[in-house]
Amino acid sequence: MQSNAAKKILPIISEDKKLEVSLEEGKAIMKLLTWSDDLGWCGQKTLEIDDSMLDDLHRVIAAARLKTNREKNETNEVVSNKVIEFPGI
């Protein structure tokens, strides 16, 4: 017997944003929520992705992460190259 209930995956939570992911009927459902002091977690966007596209989504996110990390490293290298060493006494 197979259940049609959504299978929730642990959310990603930052200070004021939360990304919930669940699997339901052959789709990954991603919900972006933001925190409001008066209301609590408020839904902003929902995205449904066919499970056949999950591998491609993983590759695209990994590529974006690598590019972002590379750009951060290049920025840090430029900043560290501008540091002038103080001459020894």
**What region, left, alpha or beta, does residue 40 occupy, with left being phi > 0 and alpha being psi -120 to 50 degrees?**
left
Cα–Cα nearest to 29, from 8, 4, 2: 8
Residues 51-72: tens digit of each pLDDT: 999 999 999 999 999 999 988 8
Q: Both tokens of residue 5?
A: 């209930």
Angle formed at CA 54 by CA 9 and CA 32, multiple of 5 degrees:
50
- The distance of Cα 34 from the centroid of its chain, to the nearest Å, equals 14
Please report which confidence band the pLDDT of residue 3 belongs to, taking 50, 70 and 90 as the band edges.
Answer: low
